[in-house]
């Protein structure tokens, strides 16, 4: 059972949340820091990579920092991006890398013992990604250090609402993961590190223990939000989630089964036109490069790219999405291949300042819950970088808020809300979440597909009708995504 109060309450135990807790306690030993999470095991996207490894994009010189900033800005596509946050991310990455090394994480090294740099998605010619392996071991490193410093953990609890007292975050309502009465935990500062919305999609690579509704939770608390429509998507087999690279189309011979049952050669869906002449065939997309050139460019990154020319390959495949969000291909050898664009990580979330502070005093966010340091497309390893840089900064600021605040206390209004509880309706929740998952994977992928506007209207309608608290937060997250899809822009 979680305690009734804490100095700092951290929601989520992934890389961002654990980093925030560690920085909070290291800067202010003796603070009462509580980390609440859905499970007591490694969870979330941080510790769910199928390769049991993660890369952290780190710049080790001024020249590398300048190159990184240029590359991120070039990938922006008019997403909300703060030059100040981007500069901090580039500047402080090396210090946060050294923190992880000192903590005991197992980074790969060359034969001489030096850190081994790797290339990154959207930055194939750099060697600024440093990989650590053994994710369960990495979690144990964080957990052991935090326990030695007196950090409190509350596994098995879901965040249902963030409370505000006189306009300032004053704690959160937690609900047992397996059902039961809500519990209010008062706090002087609240850090949300619950991951992104990928888990809400029917086809997802998001890790277990991620609720998927963090953006709705933050929006419901009054935090300003941005970039929610910019999620990463990677193609993988359905079922199975075996990664598939669209650059394979360059070999030719792939046929796409359209929703009406017709077969089309993928090449026929892409009309090569150096002068970008308009095609009367709406099933074709004009592009200025040959199929081989597009595939060569696409091979430089795993996720779908917003606004880059090689996205024509992904969008051509998406013309075959069926009602369940799956694409059916016939391979050159005649074998069937079922694929889906899998929701991965989010580049959107709560808008934060350099301290991880949202627009709500006392409410902070980091990891996939926060935005401003990424563009529409994120260079590989930059999420781990952001989780460490801004998780660290959020932890420092939360500790300062806690030191400077009086003891937390719930107002009468908050107590009344607690007594009222949170509505739960298991059948409606299951039906609603399944409907949302299917719709998101059909209409809210790759920047938005045909029919997304009608789907967004239905999301809004269902949100108005929903009573179950988890369904409400999930629908609110879905509405944030569909309302800010690139396809929704005039």
What mean pLDDT is reported for the chain?
Answer: 91
In 10 A of CB 36, how many CB atoms? 25
pLDDT in tens, 225-283: 999 999 999 999 999 899 999 999 999 899 999 999 999 999 888 864 444 333 334 44
pLDDT for the residue numbered 272: 47
Q: What is the pLDDT of residue 284?
A: 44
Give me the percent of the chain exceeding a pLDDT of 90.
81
> Does the pLDDT of residue 5 top 60, yes or no?
yes
Q: Is 445 exposed, middle or buried (0-12, 13-18, 19+ CB in 10 A)?
A: buried
In order of 86, 89, 128, 235, 383, the CA distances from 125 in angstroms are 20, 20, 9, 23, 19
Mean pLDDT of 102-120: 96
Return the CA Rg of the chain.
23
Band (pLDDT 50/70/90 cuts) for residue 181 is: confident
Task: Locate 213 and state its tokens.
Answer: 């509704």
Q: 287 φ, ψ to 5°? A: -145, 150
Phi/psi region, residue 12 (left: phi>0; alpha: psi -120 to 50; beta: rest), is left
Q: How far apart are CA 234 and CA 241, in angstroms?
A: 10
Q: List the domains of the chain with CATH numbers.
A: 5-230+347-419 (3.50.50.60), 234-340 (no CATH), 423-488 (no CATH)
pLDDT tens across 121-156, in order?
Answer: 999 999 999 999 999 999 999 999 999 999 999 999
Cα–Cα dist 362/166, whole Å: 11
| In contact, 36 and 1? CB cutoff 8 Å | no
d(CA 295, CA 155): 45
């Amino acid at each position: 059972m979680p305690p009734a109060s804490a100095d700092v309450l951290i929601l989520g135990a992934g890389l961002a949340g654990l980093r925030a807790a560690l920085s909070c306690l290291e800067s202010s030993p003796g603070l009462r820091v509580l980390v609440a999470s859905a499970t007591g095991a490694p969870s979330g996207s941080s510790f769910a990579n199928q390769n049991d490894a993660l890369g952290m994009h780190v710049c080790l010189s001024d020249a590398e920092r300048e190159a990184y900033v240029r590359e991120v800005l070039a990938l922006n596509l008019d997403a909300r991006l703060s030059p100040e946050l981007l500069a901090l991310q580039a500047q402080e990455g090396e210090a946060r890398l050294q923190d992880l090394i000192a903590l005991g994480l197992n980074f790969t090294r060359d034969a001489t013992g030096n850190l081994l740099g790797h290339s990154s998605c959207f930055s194939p010619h750099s060697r600024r990604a440093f990989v650590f392996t053994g994710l369960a071991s990495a979690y144990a490193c964080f957990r052991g250090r935090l326990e030695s410093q007196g950090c409190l953990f509350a596994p098995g609890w879901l965040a249902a609402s963030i409370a505000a007292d006189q306009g300032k975050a004053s704690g959160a309502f937690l609900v047992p993961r397996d059902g039961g009465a809500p519990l209010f935990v008062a706090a002087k500062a609240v850090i949300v590190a619950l991951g992104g919305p990928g888990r809400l999609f029917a086809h997802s690579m998001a890790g277990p223990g991620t609720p998927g509704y963090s953006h709705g939770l933050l929006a419901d608390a009054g935090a300003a939000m941005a970039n929610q429509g910019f999620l990463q998507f990677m193609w993988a087999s359905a079922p199975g989630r075996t990664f598939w690279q669209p650059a394979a189309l360059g070999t030719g011979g792939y046929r796409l089964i359209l929703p009406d049952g017709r077969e089309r050669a993928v090449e026929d869906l892409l009309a090569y036109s150096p002068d970008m002449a308009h095609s009367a065939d709406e099933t074709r997309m004009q592009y200025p490069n040959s199929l081989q050139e597009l595939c060569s460019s696409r091979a430089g990154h795993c996720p779908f790219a917003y606004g880059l020319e090689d996205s024509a390959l992904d969008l051509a495949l998406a013309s075959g999405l069926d009602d369940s969000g799956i694409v059916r291909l016939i391979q050159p050898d005649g074998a069937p291949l079922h694929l889906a664009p899998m929701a991965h990580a989010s580049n959107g979330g709560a808008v934060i300042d350099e301290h991880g502070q949202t627009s709500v005093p006392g409410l902070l966010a980091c990891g996939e819950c926060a935005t401003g340091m990424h563009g529409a497309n994120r260079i590989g390893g930059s999420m781990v970088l952001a989780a460490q840089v801004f998780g660290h900064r959020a932890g420092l600021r939360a500790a300062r808020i806690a030191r400077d605040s009086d003891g937390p206390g719930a107002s009468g209004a908050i107590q009344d809300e607690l007594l009222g509880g949170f509505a739960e309706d298991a059948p409606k929740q299951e039906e609603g979440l399944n409907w949302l998952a299917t719709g998101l994977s059909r209409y809210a992928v790759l920047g938005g597909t045909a029919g997304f506007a009608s789907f967004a209207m239905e999301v809004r309608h269902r949100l108005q009708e929903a009573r179950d608290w988890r369904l409400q937060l999930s629908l609110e997250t879905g509405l944030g995504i569909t309302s800010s899809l690139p396809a929704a822009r005039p």
